[in-house]
Structure 1
């Protein structure tokens, strides 16, 4: 894994946290229902809609109040209701800047959405998705995540939650606030566990199998999935997992979290003994304070000389508190608690082009090799020349911009993914499958003639099978990231089918896709997902050898 200097760290993570707010649309408007559907839950009846062969229930409450005196604590118990409650509109997302086509953000945000082919008591696999956006933005109604096509085309049940984020979800108060606030640094994660428990208790009524639940997520959602994989409270409620472009190898040590809390209190002029004043601070002021701190990444680095890096970043994300999250998810080993649960893990080949697009960085496309060296030195210091030399040798025909994208992309999300796969193999339990998503978008990054390729977050619409021709036979619209080529429909089908068969059986398979062997330390097989999928043994062998030689993997 790659240590990042503070300036680079802040700029990169500000963008990483934004990833899951894109594309800048949502699916809040789905047209009129073909009919309405009423079903029971353990708290009362709800009414959803049936549209184009899928039952959709939106804004189902799965937890009680978390505002007022419940701020930073476990939710109030959810109270049953009488009559039929409408589940036709999305629930409020967690506190963050307003989201397009969604309700206003709110402290009370514990809602989930369900897509199912039918409420018929069949035992379909359940795909429980955690949205991205770092740990500070996003929702279960984010663009590209509509579960309708997965439910309709692959006969699965899809569930997505809203949960606490940022300061309200991850402020560590355990050491100053007493037993009522135990686990405060992981409230956002414990909310997701509550969502999983709701699924366990209720999903049979939606045609899902509570004994066959897959957790999955991209970017920040991948890091959340990494944490769930290591959390005792989550263990009874899922059977397999997928970590996508968000390898959560390590999370925030409680010592760093305590320093962040002290910093916050100082900024607010609140003495530690008066911490209860935090319960009275307006949400808008808390959000302003949150924005003064860097975002916590889906990975964190180990400094060999000083243990976990400290003081190089603050921010709010899951805390290794010894309780809710007993240890780092994949450091020093894969979590024993999930030893027998199959795992998918991987990343997109051109992760960095998303960040170039987001920050309007056009200069990277004009780099020569000397410019690449200057750009990478803040990250890799005296090892920069060795990094570039290894990549030029492994990919002799690559241009300087291509080299820069390749190095930046694997450093951001690839090395952590490989690390997780290797540790899972060494555990000797259930299989792990390593992948690269490689479908290439021809769309140029604005201001350049450099194509997007396979940027961070492009996999979302593909794996949800939302890259498909219109159902009414009209001309397909250009995909936000994916471009215009019709091959994208084939790549999306492959991606979605691999993930849904994994959800069903624990082994990813798909029509017209070669057999995907489990990862091992001899052949090191990796599936490259595209319109034509390919298993590649020992991919990036020269590059990974170099990363190991300089202690980054």
Structure 2
């Protein structure tokens, strides 16, 4: 390590001091791996080697509103022992008390955020399955910098390599400027509507070119993500530039039937120009990071059907044929909106019957189609007479707002020749905070990562969570290795087809059940679906 530069040496010294914290074994020597752009040093945590903040792309301040570039090479050994900065983003609001306190902060943001993290059992040339995690937060917020997404336990249990990363979000990643400004300048902004997705393509190219040095198999890569991360996985399935960079997909509470039409995306861009007080994309490019964030509030951001990165919708009018041969797992939680909507209005957990229609109108008016909120309420009261008013509210909002897209995607995959698809529903109800959350959005994450004891606000932290975590993570690892979640330790899980629609129900006792919410599925099927923001 004689050629460590001064800055890296100081960082490595600080990291060595940090390794004396509880739960981390003091390393005699830091592990060093060689990437295509330079060597990196990490840390040891028991039997797992960790590397955090490895550059996979150049500072995006240099490529704002444009496709990313690879990182510059460096000399010596770069200390990679701490997360890199988050993507610039608006404040995400108050914590619900369910997600861990340190999950999502905006204290450290930068346009130089194209950094990734690796957890591996060894730098030994072994070809292990690679699980590439894409974080949630829609296309607007959050990051991979959370203990919730720590890959240590999953990598150790499965003898696998786990990767996570940060990438561009909101207006930095999805502001479509290609049809605005002088004609002579438009080529500079041709990719602006999908730069966040192009960051992920660049990251997957880094995995292809470098993961073998970390003990991973570049020909056995699974992309998986939750909420916005799952939606990004769905979009990657339809991107020609991503073809061949991954071999399995798992989406968790995150589907993306359609992307934003260029006409809508252009109207959004005009609004941002107005809010920023500028008239051309070139002027927008010269704003500071904070000025652009301030001008970017109050609109939807997401991938754009720009005719370049995306030439068709991921699952409209059918499942993209580009990834028909890529095995897919998709799942949702039983009570998604308890966390998605509940924290914004505590009264939702103690409703009276006369309150429900008005609350439904406020929460999901655009999702009810021609059905009145009174009719939706009456339907649920008839089908589920034991439900309280609040349970009806959360059941209806979950089915119409959060579950509908998964039904569409799963049904379209079911009739796609050669496609292999499995579907799950997470039913395990958390005891945290008196059980108010049920099985909400994000609830399945600590189980797949095997971090249930580390996330007591989500799981209660009890030993009873370990058996379910073992079953779920085993299914994920089976899938990552073979393209099929079945195997020892997993209940028989048939593929999803029509009309059977067999769905794995993860719970204290897990079982695969044909069409477990068939009546609700038929109800929401009566209502035309429109992807949020499109």
CA deviations on 1:103-157 (whole Å, 9 max, x unpaired) are 7211111110011111111111111111011112222222300000110011111
Match of 1:452 among 437, 459, 466: 437
Matching of residues 444-523 of structure 1 within 5 Å: 444=433, 451-468=436-453, 479-509=456-486, 511-523=488-500
1:393 to 370, 382, 405: 382
In structure 2, the partner of 1:15 is none
Deviation of the 1:240 alpha carbon: 1.0
Residues in 2 aligned to 1:323 and 1:173: alpha-carbon distance in whole angstroms: 14
How big is the shift at 1:79? Answer: 2.0
Aligned match of 1:179: 187
Q: Structure 1 stretch 541-550 or stretch 29-38: which is displaced more? A: 29-38
**3-state secondary structure, aligned to 2:224:** strand
Task: Identify the match of residue 348 of structure 2 among 359, 364, 369.
Answer: 364
Q: Say if 1:439 and 1:491, in contact at 8 Å, map to a contact too.
A: no
**Contact 1:217–1:244 (8 Å) recurs in 2:** yes
CA shift, 1:97, in A, is 5.3
Query: Which residue in the other structure is 1:436 paired with?
Result: 425
Q: How does 1:219-368 map to 2 (within 5 A)?
A: 219-272=227-280, 275-291=281-297, 293-294=298-299, 315-359=300-344, 361-368=345-352
Deviations 1:313-336 (CA, angstroms, capped at 9, x unpaired): xx3221111211212211111111
Deviation at 1:400, TM superposition (A): 2.0
Matched, 1:117 2:121: yes
CA distance, structure 2, for counterparts of residue 66 and residue 489 of structure 1: 41
8 Å CA contact retained: 1:130, 1:222: yes
- Mean CA deviation greater in 326-335 or 74-83: 74-83
Q: The residue matched to 1:236 in structure 2 has which SS?
A: coil
How far, CA to CA, are the matches of 2:163 and 2:26 in structure 1?
A: 19
| Equivalent position of 1:298 in the other structure | none
Residues 1:544 and 2:521 aligned together:
yes
- Counterparts of 2:415 and 2:371, CA distance in 1: 32
- Is residue 219 of structure 2 the alignment partner of residue 211 of structure 1? yes
Query: Which of 133, 136, 151 pairs up with 1:132?
Result: 136
Following TM superposition, by how much is the alpha carbon of 1:74 offset from its aligned partner in structure 2, in angstroms? 2.1
Distance 1:39 1:191, change over 3 A: same
Match for residue 71 of structure 2 among 57, 78, 83: 78
CA contact (8 A) 2:239 2:309 kept: yes
1:513, 1:534 within 8 Å by CA — same for their partners in 2? no
Q: Which residue of 1 aligns with 2:358?
A: 374
Q: The residue matched to 1:481 in structure 2 has which SS?
A: helix
1:42 Cα shift?
0.9
1:53 to 43, 47, 56: 47
SS at match of 2:179: helix
Question: Which secondary structure does the structure 2 equivalent of 1:243 belong to?
Answer: strand
Distance (Å, rounded) in 2 between the aligned partners of 1:478 and 1:465: 10
Calculate the aligned-residue CA RMSD, in Å: 2.2
> 2: CA distance between counterparts of 1:122 and 1:85?
23
Any stretches of 5+ residues in structure 1 without a counterpart? 1-26, 295-314, 469-476
Match of 2:404 in 1: 415
What stretches of structure 2 of length at least 5 have no aligned partner? 1-18, 92-101
Partner secondary structure for residue 332 of structure 1: coil
* Equivalent in the alignment of 1:383: 372
Provide runs of 4+ in structure 1 moved above 6 Å: 98-103
Native 8 Å contact 2:83 2:145 kept in 1: yes
For 1:469-526, what per-residue CA distance to the aligned partner results, in whole angstroms no more than 9, with x for missing partners? Answer: xxxxxxxx77112125432222222221111111111111354432100001121100
Partner-residue secondary structure (3-state), 2:241: coil
Matched residue count? 489
Question: SS where residue 233 of structure 1 aligns?
Answer: helix
1:10-42 CA-to-partner distances (Å, cap 9, x unmatched) read xxxxxxxxxxxxxxxxx9x87464341111111
8 Å contact from structure 1 (residues 90, 103) kept in 2: no
Distance 2:240 2:524 in 1: 33
Displacement of 1:550: 3.5
Normalising by structure 2, report the TM-score: 0.87
Partner Cα separation in structure 2 for residue 146 and residue 455 of structure 1: 20
Q: 1:205 Cα deviation (Å)?
A: 1.0
3-state SS of 1:211 partner: strand
Contact 1:131 1:142 in 2 (8 A): no
